[in-house]
Homo-oligomer: A and B are copies of this chain.
Amino acid sequence: MQELKPERILFIVLDGLGDHACKELDGLTPLEKAYSNNVKKLKENGSQGLMDIISPGIPPSSDVSHLIMFGYDVENEYFGRGPIEALGEGVELKEGEIAFRGNLATVRFENNYPIVVDRRAGRITSEQTKELVEYLNSEIECPEGCKVVFKPLSEHRFVMIVSGEGLSHEVTDNDPHAEGKPILLCQPIDEAKDRKGAERLAKIVNEITIQAIDKLSKHELNKKRAESKLPQANSILVRSAGTMRKMKSFQEKWDLKAACVAAGLLYRGVAKAVGMDVYDVEGANGLLNTNIQGKTSKALELLKSYDFVYLHFKGTDVASHSKNPIAKCEFIRRFYESLNLIDDAVLNTVTIVITGDHTTPCDRGMHTGEPVPILIASKGLRNDATKFFSEREAVSGGLGRIRGKDIMPILLDSIERTVEYGTRPSPKKINYMPKSLEYLKLSI
């Protein structure tokens, strides 16, 4: 009997995959309507199912979802979104530093309360943001003997990094996430484990915000913007505090050399956080008109030197949030076209996964708790009898209904790196072989 041993894994995430039946698509879902021969060859070599990343009815945020699918225990190994986004932006962080995402914003004052007028300060240019952020770095005195550094990003965006002893990132945003609302007081979250540390950080954030409003209001550039009738960048909004902690790398965890092809900064950040090498592709932009063919091609090329390639497309989620099932279907169709690059040699040696990180149905335009469809094509696994890859066919698929944490064991199993229960690194470690071999010697 012919033996086929897949040795590598191509892990494709179509962000926000999974939808409802759409009138615009003749009662089909975008995934169903887009079905073509290019994916049929994968379906014929695989099994599909439905996956609850966490549990039925509960959608995860994208960062948490990816970490769970990559086999991480987010309860104990994840420390907040701020550093993930900063890493995605290419900001270097040191162990223990606390990172916030930040915006330069426009506020007006009402009884001494700063009210947010424009959360992005009229999408101020990157150059001006750089100038203002460097000014903040030179002017702001961080209280409590701690240190604050601002790093400019594109347009109105920056990262705020606070470091010092006895701080906890368990604090709320000062960003009200809406215009017309006052800036919020940063506070410890209700569930803070290190309340004292969180109180200390909250106090620092509030003092920095007050200083920043004072300093920015006086800056020459804002005076000029006011003269040109442009919204002043006279405040900072910060959000998503998290502590930089070195995570166990994907390679250490699974003994797989891993690469990432993604344009979206959050996804690049997750990949960097787990030590994947992140690659760029010309024309890849995390939008609907991204270079799909180029990305798939790059991923396949990387499979020559990596065991695990994570390929991420954001377009499906973008279309879903704009409630456009036709655009979503068209994006999937173009993605399927790029699967023409997958030939028999690839099918025979690579386990290929297509799934989503959460469901974003076009009629609701938001992340929902419904399970995502997942297709695993692998010569190493049993294939099922379903005909199409689709949310509704997946119900009867060979994978059944799995959880996000089940993926890595299934994929490792498909490439003969099966994690047996009773041995490394299962929860119940019973390894009957000693690590360093020594031999029994009789005394006679």
Contact A431 B172 (CB under 8 A): yes
Query: A354-391 vs B: 1/0 string, CB under 8 Å?
Result: 00000101111011111100000000111111000001
A166 an interface residue at 8 Å Cβ cutoff?
Answer: no
Binds B, one of A35-43, A270-278, A298-306, A418-426: A418-426
Task: List chain B residues, Cβ under 8 A from A60.
Answer: 420-422
Contact A428 B325 (CB under 8 A): no
A399 to chain B, nearest CB (A): 8
Binds B, one of A86-94, A109-117, A133-141, A246-254: A109-117
Tell me the A residues contacting B by CB distance below 8 Å.
1-5, 18-24, 29, 50, 53-61, 64, 74-75, 78, 80-81, 109, 112-114, 170, 172-174, 177, 182-187, 189-191, 206, 209-210, 213-214, 239-241, 323-325, 359, 361-364, 366-371, 380-385, 391-393, 395-403, 406-413, 416, 418-422, 426-435, 437-444
Task: List chain B residues, Cβ under 8 A from A381.
Answer: 20, 368, 370
Task: List chain B residues, Cβ under 8 A from A2.
Answer: 23, 363
Beyond contacts A183-B439, A401-B401: 16 other A-B pairs, Cβ-Cβ < 8 A, are A1-B323, A4-B363, A54-B421, A56-B399, A57-B409, A60-B420, A61-B422, A112-B444, A114-B440, A114-B442, A170-B430, A173-B433, A187-B438, A210-B440, A366-B416, A370-B381
Q: Could you say which of A80, A370, A391, A431 has the most chain B C-beta atoms within 10 Å of its C-beta?
A: A370
Contact A410 B57 (CB under 8 A): yes
Contact among B172, B173, B395, B408 for A398, CB-based, below 8 A = B395
Instruction: Give CA–CA (A352, B362) in the complex, Å.
Output: 22
Task: List chain B residues, Cβ under 8 A from A206.
Answer: 440
Contact A61 B421 (CB under 8 A): yes
Contact B430 A213 (CB under 8 A): no
Contact A57 B412 (CB under 8 A): yes
Contact A55 B409 (CB under 8 A): yes
Instruction: Give CA–CA (A286, B427) in the complex, Å.
Output: 31
Contact A58 B434 (CB under 8 A): no
Selected A-B contacts with CB under 8 Å, 21 pairs: A1-B363, A4-B363, A20-B382, A50-B400, A54-B421, A57-B410, A58-B413, A58-B419, A113-B440, A114-B440, A172-B433, A173-B433, A177-B433, A184-B438, A187-B438, A240-B432, A366-B416, A368-B418, A369-B409, A369-B413, A385-B392
Number of copies of this kind of chain in the complex: 2
Contact among B371, B421, B434 for A64, CB-based, below 8 A = B421
A108 to chain B, nearest CB (A): 12
Contact B368 A413 (CB under 8 A): yes
Contact B58 A426 (CB under 8 A): yes
Instruction: Give CA–CA (A437, B189) in the complex, Å.
Output: 12
Contact A172 B409 (CB under 8 A): no
Task: List chain B residues, Cβ under 8 A from A182.
Answer: 439-440
- Nearest 6 A/B pairs, CB to CB: A57-B409, A57-B410, A369-B413, A400-B401, A56-B406, A182-B439
A10 to chain B, nearest CB (A): 17
Contact B74 A428 (CB under 8 A): yes
Task: List chain B residues, Cβ under 8 A from A395.
Answer: 384-385, 396-398, 400
Instruction: Give CA–CA (A441, B107) in the complex, Å.
Output: 13
Contact among B78, B368, B384 for A392, CB-based, below 8 A = B384
Contact B363 A420 (CB under 8 A): no
Contact among B21, B401, B412, B413 for A370, CB-based, below 8 A = B413
Contact A440 B209 (CB under 8 A): yes
**Chain B residue with Cβ nearest A190:** B435
